[in-house]
Structure 1
Amino acid sequence: MSHLNPSQAAIFSPSVARAAASTAKDWSYIDTWLRSIYSNSSGSSSRSRPPSFERNPETLKALLALAAANEAADDHREQLFRVEQAALDEIRAVEKDREDRRQQQQQKQQQHQQNSEKGEGQEIDPDILASDLLSALEANLTKDGAAALDAMASVAVELGVAYPTPEVLGSKFVELQGRALELEDGLERVDLLRRYLDRESARAGAFLAELQRSASDNANNLNESTMSIGGGGSSIFALPPDLPRQNLELQRLIKSTSSRLPELTQQVLSLEKTVGLPNVTVEDVRADEEAYLDLLARKKDLDAQVRAFAGLPPDVEAARAELEALRAELRDATERRDENFEKLVERESPVKTRRRPRLD
């Protein structure tokens, strides 16, 4: 096998051989199916063969799918034909049985006419009577009545009602109307929610655009300020002219303070050792605060007592004399008040006349 090239030697692989056999089998099936399709569609021998086409894996896959779908459709049509044929045979059998029974009924009627003098009763077949009655009703229906009956039958079939009555159909219609109203309500709610989301989305988009615009404006202002600082122009962002001098002074102050910091730290430590810091606790602070509050309350009481003597002279004798004068004024005012009250009572009191004794 050394004289064979790799492409020819690969055919002897079992997996490749199986794949090639499966592909050949599929192409054979497709060719047979196409010939059957074209032979059934055209009666002439010139068009019984399928046209030439490119044979590749994609074409084979598409044709296999088409053949499978065609076979499924043929099976469905075959099943539907069988069902229709069975229904038709059943209807024919029922009609034939009904016709036989009708003939028997006619024969019985003839016999009844012959035996009517003997008093024998006539037997009536209920199925034949019902069939004849329905046929008579259907034949005597008006155009509107036939249309209404067909509509009722169609509605019953659509609703899946085996024995339709006006009440059942009406209830079904009411249920459908209720469901339709619920769906309309749901659609309105969904539409309202959609409008709200659209409005919020538009608002968010406007806010985002404003943020982007403000960000771009800030970037432009920053660039302009940078350019003004670099160019040394007369912009408001220009550096002050004495900034280098202030920077030097601050550096000198920082250096001097840093050099004095160890000395100040040493002084603080020495003061702590000589003077000492009081050991104050929270309880001591609370006690001092309570004592301070007590002193404040006592001070308020004393201030109230002192305010009672406000306006008096600082000399004790003069203060006593002024106090006696005020007491005298108070007594005079009290006496005048009492006199005025007595006069008021006498004036407002009714005068009682004294009764004279009778002289008998």
Structure 2
Amino acid sequence: MSHLAPSQAAIFSPSVARAAASTAKDWSYIDTWLRSIFSNSSSSSSSSSSSRRPPHFERNPETLKALLALAAANEAADDHREQLFRVEQAALDEIRAAEKDREDRRQRVEAQKQNQQGYEGEEQEQEETTIDPEILASDLLSALEANLSKDGAAALEAMAAVAAELGVAYPTPEVLGSQFVELQGRALELEDGLERVDLLRRYLDREAARAEAFLAELRHSSIFALPPDLPRQNLELQRLVKSTSSRLPELTQQVLSLEKTVGIPSVTVEDVRADEEAYLDLLARKKDLDAQVRAFAGLPPDVEAARAELEALRAELRDATERRDENFEKLVERESPVKVRRRPRLD
């Protein structure tokens, strides 16, 4: 294999061997193609044609990929050129056949004219006026083409080229204009689509770069680093799982035996609902009792001491009430108007 380095080790993997064989086949195809190209372009000797092969330092996957693409494009161009040559050859043969047929008809008409030169009168005039329509159309087109100006010939050639490119059989300026406008609209739509695709590609590249940066940060960050004793923990967990799995049938048997001996009561949905309602009632009663207990907060735990403190608070309440009433009466007397008593008259 000429594309491999001499110091490369032997290949033992089947997949690598298949890849190497495919690469060798591609390089063989490229060498043959290059020899055929350079042999057609120059008449050199076999030694010089063998020197046209790429050197060893250029035999890499990138060069092989580029040469394969170039060879495929060259073959496609050769096929297109061959098809175009065949079409042109067929068109030329048809034109030559038509020219030959037209020339034969013209010769036959001239021969008939020469043979009928002896006749006079009305028959001679009719024979002289009989003209082949195809010959007349050909002569008329030739005359028009010969008398066209330079700008007119260029415009006619441009119109014919546009009609051939668009595939219009009977071109007119209106039809060609509408086709051209439609193609221009499609071109604008394609440009808009390309801009959108390019915008999406840039967005995907940016997101991919952010994801790669985040992945690199995760790889180099100490927060997400694996603990050093992770293999030991894994082994311990595996041993624990194995031991528990081995004891699982025994534990299951013990549970079954306990169910048979003790008997687990069957619980229904109604029982669970009744227990829930009882629990909610107890919870509401507890809240009420807590509210009542909070009213006696701050009292000493001794009953007699609590009663004494309660009586003292009641006495303070009575004193405060009496002071409030006295102050209210004084306020009323002060704010009430004083009535002047009239003395009786002494007559």
**Alignment CA distance shift 1:117-1:66 (3 Å):** closer
Q: Give me the CA root mean square deviation.
A: 17.5
Residue-by-residue CA offset, 1:271-326 (whole Å, 9 max, x unaligned): 99999999999999999999999999999999999999999999999999999999
More displaced 10-residue stretch of structure 1: 23-32 or 43-52: 43-52
Instruction: Write out per-residue CA displacement over residues 53-80 of structure 1, whole angstroms, 9 at most, x where no aligned residue.
Output: 4323333233222222221222122222
Unaligned 5+ residue runs, structure 1?
211-233
TM-score, with structure 2 as normaliser: 0.38
Change (3 A) 1:137 1:323: same
Q: Is the 8 A contact 1:42 1:48 kept in 2?
A: no
Instruction: Decide which structure has the larger Cα Rg and report it.
Output: 1
Distance between the aligned counterparts of 1:31 and 1:207, measured in 2? 46
**Deviation digits for residues 244-273 of structure 1 (CA, Å, limit 9, x no counterpart):** 999999999999999999999999999999
Contact 2:116 2:124 in 1 (8 A): no
The higher relative CO (CA closer than 8 Å, separation ≥ 6) is in 2
In the superposition, relative to structure 1, how do residues 107 and 171 fare at CA in structure 2: closer, same or farther (>3 Å)? farther
Question: CA, structure 1 residues 184+8, in 2 after alignment: closer, same or farther (shift >3 Å)?
Answer: closer
Shift of 1:158: 6.6
- 5+ residue gaps, structure 2, are none
How many Å separate the matches in 2 of 1:315 and 1:4?
Answer: 104
2: distance between equivalents of 1:237 and 1:64? 46
Alpha-carbon offset, residue 130 of structure 1: 1.0
**Equivalent-residue separation in structure 2 for 1:307 and 1:263 (angstroms):** 54
Deviation readout 1:198-242 (Å, 9 max, x if unpaired): 9999999999999xxxxxxxxxxxxxxxxxxxxxxx999999999
Deviation digits for residues 28-83 of structure 1 (CA, Å, limit 9, x no counterpart): 11111111222229997697555554323333233222222221222122222222
Query: Which range moved further: 110-119 or 27-36?
Result: 110-119
Structure-2 change in CA distance of 1:241 and 1:2 (3 Å): closer
Counterparts of 1:331 and 1:246, CA distance in 2: 76
In the alignment, which residue of structure 2 is the partner of 1:281?
Answer: 268
CA–CA distance in structure 2, aligned partners of residues 33 and 258 of structure 1: 68
Change (3 A) 1:259 1:48: closer
Q: Deviations over 1:157-213 (max 9, x none)?
A: 577643345666688899999999999999999999999999999999999999xxx
Separation of aligned partners in 2, 1:248 and 1:26: 51
Q: How far does residue 22 in structure 1 lie from its aligned partner after superposition? A: 2.3
> Cα 1:256–1:87, aligned 2, differ >3 Å: closer, same or farther?
closer
> Given that residues 30 and 63 in structure 1 are in contact (C-alpha distance below 8 angstroms), is that contact kept between their aligned partners in structure 2?
yes
TM-score (norm 1): 0.37
Q: Is the 8 A contact 1:38 1:49 kept in 2?
A: no
Contact 1:38 1:47 in 2 (8 A): no
Which shows bigger deviation, 333-342 or 162-171?
A: 333-342
1:127 to partner: Cα distance: 0.7
